[in-house]
Amino acid sequence: MVSDVRGLTRQFLEYLEIEKGRSVKTVENYQHYLERFLEHSPVKKPSDITETNVREFRTWLNRQKGVSGEMKRKTQNYYLIALRAFLKYLRKLEIPSLNPEKIELAKIGARDLDLITAAELDRLMKGPQGEELPALRDRAILELFFSTGLRVSELCALNNDLDLSRDEFSVRGKGEKVRVVFLSPAAKHAIKKYLDKRGDISDALFVGYGKGSRKKEPERLTTRSVERMVKQYAIKAGITRKVTPHVIRHSFATDLLENGADLRSVQALLGHANIATTQVYTHVTDKHLREVHSKFHGKRRA
């Protein structure tokens, strides 16, 4: 049985990818975080991991330079989350080491959401003009983002076998978890127009139409290509702040909440494993509660 820390780390990363279904990018990130800890801390076996060397590692992280000055606490927490997950894996294997609960994450302020206004969203959605394939594709992508709240990686992985006679379809998200998302009439119409004009036999729902695409089978769009496309339409719409597919995902969630959806339902639609992740949107429900209070409170004393 593997007993050295580096061997167990490799085993843990394989476990994450194969058994837990984590993405290759997530596994690469965990590998980076754990390697930094092992480079800094003189540990050879699991029992060498102590509160002392974790505290020393945290102090070292706190003094590292980030993009703008000191490393942010949120970034420091990524290292600690990876280390804690590794320790939980060791406990699962009944290998003596530091109790993962001994590692507390640094407190960070409330996360600020990147949001655009309803008017800005409307201008963004109207960006793709004309009946050419690239415009039809881009209109379908934007409508699908806002209708479903898909992550950009989930959208790029879709195939062109969507059943448009139905208003819903299943998508495989983070951790290989499957959830149901729903198509608005606008999204269905946009996707149908795009697919009707397609003449290729690619399995991908969204493909590229760059230089040389007519000479060969078009390739599936990459997440980077979609991000660039969204950015270009945001600039065209006169939106000064940074707009990404994730910003449209935020708009999807806030639109639901503003119209009365409960947080648990939004959690399911977004594919969040933990309700705490969805609670970043409570500014919307807070606003609703303020309106309820203003409308209904203290009327008898008026």
Q: CATH code at 50?
A: 1.10.150.130
Indicate the residue among 32, 67, 102 that finishes a domain: 102
**pTM for this model (two decimals):** 0.67
pLDDT at 198 over 80: yes
Looking at the chain, the whole-number percentage of residues with pLDDT higher than 90 is 53
| Enzyme catalytic residues | 151, 174, 246, 249, 272, 281
89: its two tokens: 């894996």
The span from the CA of 92 to the CA of 113, in Å, is 36
For residues 131 and 270, state if they share a domain: yes
pLDDT at 2 over 80: no
The answer as to whether 190 is a domain residue is yes
Mean pLDDT of the chain: 87
For residues 83 and 154, state if they share a domain: no
The span from the CA of 8 to the CA of 1, in Å, is 9
Counting Cβ atoms within 10 Å, is residue 168 exposed (0-12), middle (13-18) or buried (19+)?
exposed
Indicate the residue among 52, 73, 102 that finishes a domain: 102
The span from the CA of 32 to the CA of 79, in Å, is 9
pLDDT at 69 over 80: no
For residues 286 and 234, state if they share a domain: yes
Q: Which domain holds residue 139?
A: 118-292
pLDDT of residue 64: 81
The answer as to whether 228 is a domain residue is yes
For residues 38 and 69, state if they share a domain: yes
The answer as to whether 300 is a domain residue is no
For residues 78 and 167, state if they share a domain: no
Domain count, the chain: 2
Range 239-244 average pLDDT: 88
Q: Assign residue 137 the CATH number of its domain.
A: 1.10.443.10
User: 207-215: long-range contacts (C-beta < 8 A, 24 or more apart)?
Assistant: 207/137, 209/133, 209/134, 209/137
The answer as to whether 208 is a domain residue is yes
Indicate the residue among 48, 72, 102 that finishes a domain: 102
The span from the CA of 259 to the CA of 182, in Å, is 16
End-to-end CA distance of the chain, in Å? 76
Confidence of residue 211 (pLDDT cuts 50, 70, 90): low
